[in-house]
């Protein structure tokens, strides 16, 4: 079926996609609290005949919805499908629906989630004819401690032939990369004492934190220039006349290369233990949020999607924007071939994480863009299922990019 067929399929469901988008927009819920939003998606998918697991992997606002065709599907050769619950080629769309504190859907995950659920439903109408299966994952809390990390670790994406998620933006951008991230916490433990009358009896935990910052700042001049280390002091004592017995620093350590994160973590640990030793304190080092992998964009999958987007009527797709942010879809991209392109939701320049961005996500312009994106996502899913050559080149590229890395990272 050509792109016109998919646009017609999308046109039939546009009224329900518009109301799903509106409903999630009107009830902004923070990460892991997306009770109404996840339910709205699940209702739409069940109504379209999907089999839904909800809650999923112990997360009340996560779900896994699958539509499997009655046809046997194209035969699968080679290492294409290895997952436990997957028979025949299988593609996934990743829905997000968490909001931001204070500004509601300032990242437009209402529209992002609607695109993925819409693509799943549009593709499901073809699955009976072409075989294989389509899965829509509800993935909570992208803005905080992204659920995709735990889902990836739990094997949710293993064996899939492709995973696609398209994010609202001010332009159409090809899928690029994002930074791997480790969220490191350093808790220094000292000993309280009267800071004026008996400072010699105290151990100053805050001095440990200050020593850590100085050591990190010295180290900063000798790390890869594409990496980032930035932190705060989240606890630094309670009163000036008490020697701080507890002080806590939190850092984000980021790099385009997941392997280099481990090097940076080792350096950070050395900075912290030497700072602790210098002041006689103890230090406990933990991860306070899930660690994100860098995004490995699958070029073959990205090319297929872009071709479909252009033939759906998008006039141009820009080169990937250089990103110094981190995305939880990075972890997905180490488990199966994945892309995370952006789509344009406003005719005028606009910035994410603002009220203007939220407002743009429910405009007629955003919906007209959504229509093209949903059709292109659905057709790309069908291409992966129907075209064994495309599927093989996507798989080969994935195997090449992740060679040796997945095991090392999860050891
Ligand atoms: Zn955001
Ligand atoms: Zn976002």
Per-domain residue ranges of the chain: 3-178+293-409, 180-287
Give the number of the ligand closest to the Cα of residue 169.
2
For tokens 């075989």, name the residue.
131
Candidates 214, 206, 211; CA nearest to 238 is 206
Q: Give dist(CA 55, CA 38) in Å, integer.
A: 9
For tokens 């005028």, name the residue.
348
Q: Ligand 1 centroid vs 353 CA: distance in angstroms?
A: 6
Q: By three-state DSSP, how is residue 234 classified?
A: strand
Q: Ligand 1 centroid vs 269 CA: distance in angstroms?
A: 29
Beta bridge partners of 338: 163, 297
| Structure confidence at residue 76 (pLDDT) | 52
Q: Ligand 1 centroid vs 2 CA: distance in angstroms?
A: 33
Q: Give dist(CA 138, CA 208) in Å, integer.
A: 42
Q: Ligand 2 centroid vs 29 CA: distance in angstroms?
A: 14
Q: Phi-psi region for residue 108, left (φ > 0), alpha (ψ -120 to 50) or beta?
A: left
Q: Ligand 2 centroid vs 10 CA: distance in angstroms?
A: 23
Q: What is the mean pLDDT of residues 24-31?
A: 98
Q: Give dist(CA 262, CA 260) in Å, integer.
A: 5
How would you write 349-368 as a 3-class SS string? CCCCCCHHHHHHCCCHHHHH
- To the nearest whole percent, how much of the chain has pLDDT over 70? 93
With cut-offs at 50, 70 and 90, classify the pLDDT of residue 202.
very high
Is residue 410's pLDDT more than 80?
A: no
User: Mind listing the pLDDT tens digit for each residue in 206-234?
Assistant: 999 999 999 999 999 999 999 999 999 99
Q: Ligand 1 centroid vs 107 CA: distance in angstroms?
A: 5
Q: Ligand 2 centroid vs 348 CA: distance in angstroms?
A: 19
| Structure confidence at residue 258 (pLDDT) | 87
Fold of the CATH domain 180-287: Alpha-Beta Plaits (3.30.70)
Q: Ligand 2 centroid vs 152 CA: distance in angstroms?
A: 19
Q: What is the mean pLDDT of residues 50-61?
A: 98
Q: Give dist(CA 385, CA 277) in Å, integer.
A: 58
| Structure confidence at residue 80 (pLDDT) | 45
Q: What is the mean pLDDT of residues 344-363?
A: 96
- To the nearest whole percent, how much of the chain has pLDDT over 90? 89
Q: Ligand 2 centroid vs 311 CA: distance in angstroms?
A: 26
For 278-369, list the strands marked E by DSSP.
Answer: 282-287, 338-339, 342-344
With cut-offs at 50, 70 and 90, classify the pLDDT of residue 290.
confident
Q: What is the mean pLDDT of residues 30-39?
A: 98
Which comes out higher in pLDDT, residue 257 or 372? 372
Q: Ligand 2 centroid vs 83 CA: distance in angstroms?
A: 28
CATH number of 3-178+293-409: 3.40.630.10
What Rg value do the Cα atoms of the chain yield, rounded?
A: 24
Q: Ligand 2 centroid vs 85 CA: distance in angstroms?
A: 29
Q: Give dist(CA 100, CA 204) in Å, integer.
A: 37
| Structure confidence at residue 69 (pLDDT) | 80
Beta bridge partners of 164: 93, 339
Q: Ligand 2 centroid vs 99 CA: distance in angstroms?
A: 9
Ion ligand 1: residues, CB within 5 A, are 107
Whether the CA torsion 14, 300, 341, 348 is positive or negative: it is negative
Mean pLDDT score of the chain: 93
Is residue 82's pLDDT more than 50?
A: no
Q: Ligand 1 centroid vs 120 CA: distance in angstroms?
A: 23
Q: Ligand 1 centroid vs 131 CA: distance in angstroms?
A: 35
Q: What is the mean pLDDT of residues 269-274?
A: 98
Candidates 126, 159, 163, 135; CA nearest to 382 is 126
Is residue 408's pLDDT more than 90?
A: no
Alpha-carbon distance values, 333 to 64, 94, 215, 292, 355 (Å) = 18, 12, 34, 11, 30
What pTM was estimated for this model as a whole? 0.86
DSSP H or E run through 200: none
Q: Ligand 2 centroid vs 105 CA: distance in angstroms?
A: 9
Is residue 83's pLDDT more than 50?
A: no
Work out the end-to-end distance of the chain between its first and last CA atoms, rounded to an integer number of angstroms. 44
Q: By three-state DSSP, how is residue 230 classified?
A: strand
Is residue 81's pLDDT more than 50?
A: no
């Amino acid at each position: 079926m050509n792109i016109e067929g998919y646009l017609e399929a999308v046109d039939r469901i546009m009224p329900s996609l518009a109301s799903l988008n509106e409903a999630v927009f009107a009830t902004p819920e923070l990460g892991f609290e997306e009770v109404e939003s996840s339910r709205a998606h699940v209702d739409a998918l069940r109504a379209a005949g999907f089999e839904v697991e909800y809650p999923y992997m112990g997360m009340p606002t996560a779900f896994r919805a699958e539509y499997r065709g009655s046809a046997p599907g194209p035969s699968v050769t080679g290492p294409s499908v290895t997952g436990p619950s997957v028979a025949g080629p299988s593609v996934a769309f990743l829905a997000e629906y968490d909001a931001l504190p204070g500004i509601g859907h300032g990242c437009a995950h209402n529209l992002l989630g609607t695109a993925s659920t819409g693509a799943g439903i549009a593709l499901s109408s073809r699955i009976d004819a072409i075989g294989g299966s389509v899965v829509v994952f509800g993935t909570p809390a992208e803005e905080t401690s992204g659920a995709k990390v735990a889902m990836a670790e739990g094997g949710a994406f293993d064996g899939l032939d492709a995973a696609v998620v398209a994010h609202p933006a001010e332009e159409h951008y090809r899928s690029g990369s994002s930074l791997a991230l480790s969220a490191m916490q350093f808790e220094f433990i000292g000993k309280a004492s009267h800071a004026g009358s008996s400072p010699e009896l105290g151990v100053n935990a805050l001095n440990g934190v200050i020593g850590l910052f100085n050591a990190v700042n010295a180290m900063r001049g000798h790390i890869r220039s594409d990496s980032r280390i930035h932190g705060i002091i989240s606890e630094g004592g309670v009163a000036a006349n008490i020697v701080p017995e507890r002080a806590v620093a939190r850092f984000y350590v980021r790099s385009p290369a997941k392997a280099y994160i481990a090097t940076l973590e080792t350096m950070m640990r050395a900075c912290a233990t030497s700072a602790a030793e210098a002041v006689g304190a103890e230090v406990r080092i933990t991860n306070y949020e899930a660690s994100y992998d860098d995004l490995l964009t699958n070029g073959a999958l990205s090319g297929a999607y872009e071709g479909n987007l252009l033939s759906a009527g998008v006039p141009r797709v820009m080169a990937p924007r250089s990103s110094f942010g981190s995305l939880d879809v990075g972890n997905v991209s180490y488990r199966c071939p994945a892309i995370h392109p952006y789509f344009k939701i406003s005719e005028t320049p606009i910035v994410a994480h603002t009220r203007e961005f939220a407002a743009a996500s429910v405009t007629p312009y955003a919906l007209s863009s959504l229509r093209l994106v949903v059709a292109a996502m659905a057709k790309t899913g069908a291409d992966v299922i129907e075209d064994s050559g495309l599927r093989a080149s996507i798989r080969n590229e994935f195997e090449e990019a992740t060679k040796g890395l997945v095991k090392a990272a999860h050891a």
